[in-house]
Chain A
């Protein structure tokens, strides 16, 4: 690499955007259906599918923890990247402030999710 050329941080955000986009494309609609419609309306799945003991056990399990963190964090990073790059299209000439706000909120959500998963314990 030539001296004076700075490495771009764009590939990191793009990778998070791509990973979140892929995960939400593969599982997003079914997750919304399960947590947002099937469970509250009591259709298709057993009524106690998301009962406290079951969800606690799921969130305490290492695989369950990783799944919850991956879904929340990658969905947020995907959305933050896409919204940030769409600001220009709706006439907002986004600068560093907008970038900090978009990615900062995704980072905040990631930290909050990780903290909650730690509080829930192992």
Chain B
């Protein structure tokens, strides 16, 4: 090993110094809530496979204030994921050419958000319809 110990500038908390990177870390961080929510659904599915008593116990557990609190935060986080997913989409998908002109980014973002609104209301209507 060399005896040289060159100075290496610390990178600790690099993203806190720039609002752009703070936003980046928050939108990447939404993945933690997507994973946690998938875990909640997986638990429910597992309980469902164990029979009626297990399923009912899981439904009762969901009424726990901690679960309600988690789902409120998850709703905000995954809602923010929806917003950023479509905000970034003009840069993550290939350029769309319409009539010889490149489709502006805001049109793609607005289209994506509109699709999310339609899909969400459609899902709610479907659940509503199946429950009646």
Query: Which residues on A are within 8 Å of B, measured CB to CB?
Result: 20-22, 24-37, 39-41, 45-46, 48-50, 52, 54-56, 58-59, 68, 71-72, 75-76, 78-80, 82-83, 85-86, 89, 91, 109, 112-113, 116-117, 119-120
Contacts and interface: CB of A to CB of B under 8 A. Distances in A.
A interface secondary structure, majority: helix
A55 B62 contact: no
Interface residues of B, number: 53
Interface of B: 11-12, 15, 25, 28-29, 31-32, 34-35, 37-42, 44-46, 48-49, 52, 55-56, 59, 62-63, 67-68, 70-72, 74-75, 78-79, 81-82, 85-86, 112, 115-116, 119-121, 123-124, 127-128, 130-132
B132 A46 contact: yes
Contact of A30 (B25, B45, B112, B123): B123
Nearest to A56: B48
Contact of B128 (A45, A56, A109): A45
Contact of A39 (B28, B40, B59, B123): B59
A31 B128 CA distance: 13
B38 A79 contact: yes
Given A86-B28, A91-B11, 13 more contacts: A24-B81, A29-B79, A35-B62, A36-B75, A37-B71, A40-B68, A49-B130, A54-B130, A68-B45, A75-B41, A79-B32, A83-B35, A119-B49
A80 B39 CA distance: 12
A48 B29 CA distance: 34
B131 A48 contact: yes
B44 A25 contact: no
